[in-house]
Amino acid sequence: MPHSQHSPGQPPAGMQVSSGAQGVEIVQPSSIVTRKLGPGAVLPMRLDPRVLKRMERAIEKMADSYEKSLKTEIRQMLLSHDEWQAGKQEAIHAIYALAHDIRGLAGTFSRPVTGRISNALCQYLEALPHLDAADGAVVRLHVDAMFAAAMDAQEPSEEVAKATLAGLERLVGRTLEHCRPACDPARG
Amino acid sequence: MSSPNPIDKLSVLIADDSETVRRLLASLLAALGAGRVFIANNGSEALTTFFRYCPDIIITDAAMAPIDGYELVDTVRSHPESPDPNVPVIMLSALSGDAHEARAAQMGVSILLSKPLVPEALYKAISEALASAERRAWLEEAALKIADPSPLSADKQPLPAGRSRMLH
């Protein structure tokens, strides 16, 4: 592996050392910004609107392919849910992995509602030390809500999204309250 | 006068186990005009690339296997042969919460960038990560001078890892 440490007794590249009055040494460390961006670069950098447009176009170019991939992932979640309910325990890990991917990407590709429902599902699964039968319905309703949000060309309105998320949140609360006394942290 | 697109000089290492995220980041960095982009599928590949090419900045996911983003950053910061212990690191993650943030800070992540990714936020994170790395390097230089006031002596030792993390 290459070394970048400076040679003993020598200042690192770019570091200036000079002797000031009364023995005071002035050290000018190398500037990372200058080294990486070139002379004259200043921070914070200003985003050129033309560059921003290019970035937005780059996302648009990927949007069709992401739409297909998102729909495939949600269908896979439905299949994995069926497998999980049929007793294949590891299928829930596949559901979580898919939900985690979707919560990270859907918002970038104009699917923020799908992303938020997916995030709610991830947080539910992250909060539980183990899953039981009652969780099957909760997980399924989240996946169904994602399916409904993602399958149309346009996502539901903000009002519908808020109502859906609030409904799912109430369902999660009731499930944890009535079906999961073992989730009491004091009982491990 | 500075370049209208200062990022055209930057080499960037992307580490993410999601193919879509890797493609997205590579496309956005290409649109930004980044000088060179290295792509790694996980933390292990990222470390190999980092030690070989010493990129100017790293953008990494948090959750990856076999080496995750936290371990990647820890190694970059503390390995005795790290080619650039102060390299700016942006951690991109859908995770949230105090535990994630505390761990990222402890490992020396420069900037946490939450998903979903938006272009302006990525650009701002690059700018802030560079500023953070600059501060970190200056503080380390200053700490080295305080620890050893003789001018650039041959026996300078790097700060203990814990110390430098506390300073940044």
Q: What is the pLDDT of residues A3-33, one digit of tens each?
A: 444 444 454 444 555 555 566 666 555 677 7
Pick the range with the lowest mean pLDDT from A104-108, B61-65, B66-70, B92-96: B92-96
CATH of the domain at B100: 3.40.50.2300
Q: Is A8 exposed, middle or buried (0-12, 13-18, 19+ CB in 10 A)?
A: exposed
Res B149 pLDDT > 70: no
Res B146 pLDDT > 90: no
> ipTM of the assembly?
0.78
Strand locations in chain B (E): 11-15, 36-40, 57-61, 89-93, 111-114
Report the distance separating Cα A54 and Cα A58, nearest Å. Answer: 6
- Residue contact B134–A32, C-beta within 8 A: yes
Structural domain including B67 reads 6-132
Res B19 pLDDT > 70: yes
- Residue contact B54–A2, C-beta within 8 A: yes
Residues 127-156 of A with CB under 8 A from B: none
Q: Does B20 touch chain A (CB under 8 A)?
A: yes
State which residues of chain A have pLDDT below 50.
Answer: 1-9, 11-14, 184-188
Contacts with B82 from chain A: Cβ below 8 Å: 4
Q: For residue B16, what pLDDT band results from cuts at 50, 70 and 90?
A: very high
Q: Which residues contact B101 (CB under 8 A, 6 or more apart)?
A: B112
- Residue contact A55–B119, C-beta within 8 A: yes
In a domain, B14, yes or no: yes
In this structure, whether the domain defined by A49-187 belongs to CATH 1.20.120.160 is answered with: yes
- CB-CB neighbours of B6 under 10 Å: 23
The two tokens of residue A178 are: 């009535």
Q: Does B153 touch chain A (CB under 8 A)?
A: yes
Mean pLDDT of B98-114: 90
The two tokens of residue B73 are: 């950053």
Nearest to B60 by CA among B96, B10, B111, B131: B111
In a domain, B119, yes or no: yes
In a domain, B152, yes or no: no
Q: Does A45 touch chain B (CB under 8 A)?
A: yes
Task: Give residue A9's pLDDT.
Answer: 46
Q: What is the domain count for chain B? A: 1
Q: Does A40 touch chain B (CB under 8 A)?
A: yes
In a domain, B165, yes or no: no
Pick the range with the lowest mean pLDDT from A95-109, B65-79, B130-144: B130-144
In a domain, B145, yes or no: no
In a domain, B24, yes or no: yes
In a domain, B160, yes or no: no
